[in-house]
Structure 1
Amino acid sequence: MKTRVVAADSAAEKESAIAEAVHLLRSGELVALPTETVYGLAADALNVSAVLKIFEAKHRPRFDPLIVHVGSIEMAERIAEIPGASSELIRALMGRFWPGPLTFVLPRREVIPDVVAAGLATVAVRVSAHPVFSAVAAEFGGALAAPSANRFGRISPTRAGDVSEELDGRIPLIVDARDTSHGLESTIVRVERGKIEILRKGPVTAEHLADFGSVSIANHILRVSAPGQLPTHYAPRTRLVVVNSADEFAIPPATKCGLLAWRSSSKSDGFSEVRTLSADGDLKEAAAHLFRYLRELDRANLDLIVAEAVSDEGIGAAIMDRLRRAASVPGAQL
């Protein structure tokens, strides 16, 4: 299969790319699309044959459920139920954070195929704020299953070129709308009995959600109930360790090491390659750079990537979640 990459910069390019994407989606094919978080691999969520192509292209295990993207709250209610007991809180959160990087795990309606939900009684639902994805969803007029557009377990793509690196020859179309803005996957929550449980950390932080009610974080996952919960995920091919500070790390003899530094003040002597998440220690900037710089270091033929821990506040908690999962030994820190 030949994979086409089409730009969506100018108005004319965007119109053409959207039309081609919708045509392919209606034909049961896959399309890589930009979202505000990372690039997603979209398919008609109600077409089992199309959804199975996602699992095949990504080498994704069937027990890992998919996020379903819709165009509105009204469309969300066609595929999922908003429980009455939590309706007021859920709708308040949707009103504040949709469109945007917040995904809700809700009881699914029968229209959602088992393969989308991995056999669970729930479905993960969100509305993307990206203008290209939103336009495709609106023109398509239905629900789109869209996990990240990369091989399963690998670093999520924040550029069209990343998608090509992962899935060239496996999907027909990539729509290139340049870099994503957040650089991290959406926050996933479950709302029950007036409480908000974070199932996956992301751009919408616990601090943001605390304005609406009691917030807890699911730290010990016994069974996958939402996408992105596996202990080893978002991983480069190169071995990665997380350290508190590069100053405290002794580079092993005859080891070609790369450094993913938190800020510019970090020690870099002896490292073959260095990428700095944010020179000024800005967590939003660090999040936007995380997967891009991890991918660049992974391409550099290193023996080891050393990643410095960032502040565990706000979106820093999501960055640390991704780094710990990306470590060769889950949770590894030196």
Structure 2
Amino acid sequence: MPETKVIYADDEEMKDAVREAAALLRAGETVGLPTETVYGLAADAFNPDAVAKVFSAKERPSFDPLIVHIASRGDLKRVAVVPDDILETVNKLTSAFWPGPLTLILPKHADVPDLVTSGLPTVAVRQSAHPIFRAVNKELGNPIAAPSANRFGSISPTSASAVVKELGGKIPLVVDGGACSEGVESTIISIEPREGKKPVFRLHRAGPITKEQLQDFGKVEKVKSISESAPQAPGQLASHYAPRTPLILLEDISSFQPEEGKKYGLIAYRGEDDSDYVNLHDWEQVESLSPGSGKLAEAAIRLFFVMRLMDEAGLDYIIAEPVSETGLGVAIMDRLRRAAAK
């Protein structure tokens, strides 16, 4: 395959970029597209040969299912069969959070290829809020299967340049829509109805839609047991989102015992000079998730960008400071723990 082309989709060039991306998808190719969460590697979800190219480019195991993106809420019926006992709940959730970073696991429609769902009877589906992704979705006229546009298990890309570093030469096109506004992948839930009570939401992956937001609509319970060989939802493997450089999540600051002659870098939360973590060691490099302010939303947006900076810094180890596990902090800590599990 020739060198990967990058199109800058500013206001004037957006229509041309959308048409070119949709034409490639229609021809059975894969395209890197921006979403509000991270950049996705897109393929026509109804074309098994195109979906196979996604798995091949990412070196993703076929047992790990993909998320299907729809252009409008009305397209949900094309990819899922919503049971009557959760229909009202699905309508409430999609009205509140779509388009946006909430993925629902629902019984799949027969038209969705088994490769997309890794043979599961369910499909993970959402509607992206990113204007470029939505425009391509609409122009194509079919749902789009799109996991993150990176090599399997590595750091998710939040910029077009990161996609090129990960998959350059493996895919024909990346549409550059700037930096992603959320920075971490979508929240994934499944729904269990309860007669006479609010439903239970099984939280398969924490993300931008927080537990606190979901609790207005049902009871949220984290999925405790995850099969490494047969995950029930995308993004479930224990080791994921990982840099090549070993990452250690330092939840107990007193346990840090650096090796002589090794280079350590710190991913700090605020990065303030008087921080216990900043002053713990003579770090080779310090990068902050939310410089000075300690805002979880900013930390989420910068997380993968900072991880990638540190991975390219020539360190022996990356040390990560934990953040508070409230709101978006749950998703941030989820990604850090998986990155550290490599």
TM superposition score category, shorter chain reference = over 0.9
Q: Please tell me whether residue 241 in structure 1 is matched to residue 251 in structure 2.
A: no
Range with bigger deviation, 312-321 or 220-229 = 220-229
CA distance in 2, matches of 1:105, 1:60: 20
CA distance in 2, matches of 1:317, 1:178: 25
Work out whether residues 271 and 286 of structure 2, in 8 Å CA contact, stay in contact via their aligned partners in 1. no
Partner of 1:76: 76
Q: How far has the Cα of 1:220 moved from its partner?
A: 2.0
CA distance in 1, matches of 2:219, 2:201: 6
Query: Counterparts of 1:136-285 in structure 2 under 5 Å?
Result: 136-193=136-193, 194-222=199-227, 223-244=230-251, 249-265=256-272, 266=275, 267-268=278-279, 269-278=281-290, 279-285=292-298
Work out whether residues 224 and 230 of structure 1, in 8 Å CA contact, stay in contact via their aligned partners in 2. yes
Query: Counterparts of 1:285-324 in structure 2 under 5 Å?
Result: 285-324=298-337
CA distance in 2, matches of 1:233, 1:304: 17
Partner of 1:90: 90
CA distance in 2, matches of 1:76, 1:169: 33
Q: What's the Cα RMSD here? A: 1.2
Residue segments in structure 1 that go unaligned for 5+ positions in a row? 330-334
Residue segments in structure 2 that go unaligned for 5+ positions in a row? 194-198
Work out whether residues 197 and 215 of structure 1, in 8 Å CA contact, stay in contact via their aligned partners in 2. yes
CA distance in 2, matches of 1:191, 1:90: 8
SS at match of 1:197: strand
SS at match of 2:105: strand
CA distance in 2, matches of 1:240, 1:53: 30
Over residues 46-86 of structure 1, what are the superposed CA-to-partner deviations in whole Å (9 max), with x where a residue is unaligned?
00110000000000000000000001121111110111101
Partner of 2:67: 67
CA distance in 1, matches of 2:38, 2:47: 23
Q: How far has the Cα of 1:324 moved from its partner?
A: 0.4
Q: How far has the Cα of 1:246 moved from its partner?
A: 5.6
CA distance in 1, matches of 2:289, 2:255: 19
Q: How far has the Cα of 1:245 moved from its partner?
A: 6.4
CA distance in 1, matches of 2:109, 2:26: 22
Work out whether residues 182 and 203 of structure 1, in 8 Å CA contact, stay in contact via their aligned partners in 2. yes
Partner of 1:112: 112
Partner of 1:135: 135
CA distance in 1, matches of 2:341, 2:213: 31
Work out whether residues 183 and 288 of structure 1, in 8 Å CA contact, stay in contact via their aligned partners in 2. yes
CA distance in 2, matches of 1:104, 1:286: 25
Q: How far has the Cα of 1:12 moved from its partner?
A: 2.1
TM-score by length of 2: 0.94
Q: How far has the Cα of 1:211 moved from its partner?
A: 0.7
CA distance in 2, matches of 1:245, 1:294: 20
CA distance in 2, matches of 1:154, 1:62: 17
Q: How far has the Cα of 1:180 moved from its partner?
A: 0.2
Cα distance change of structure 1 residues 250 and 263 upon mapping to structure 2, 3 Å threshold: farther
Q: Which amino acid is 2:169 matched to?
A: G
Work out whether residues 251 and 270 of structure 1, in 8 Å CA contact, stay in contact via their aligned partners in 2. no
Q: How far has the Cα of 1:328 moved from its partner?
A: 4.1
TM-score by length of 1: 0.96
SS at match of 1:166: helix
Over residues 209-231 of structure 1, what are the superposed CA-to-partner deviations in whole Å (9 max), with x where a residue is unaligned?
00111111112213410000001
Work out whether residues 57 and 171 of structure 1, in 8 Å CA contact, stay in contact via their aligned partners in 2. yes
SS at match of 1:189: strand
CA distance in 1, matches of 2:15, 2:109: 33
Partner of 2:16: 16
Query: When the two structures are aligned, how many residues end up with a matched partner?
Result: 328
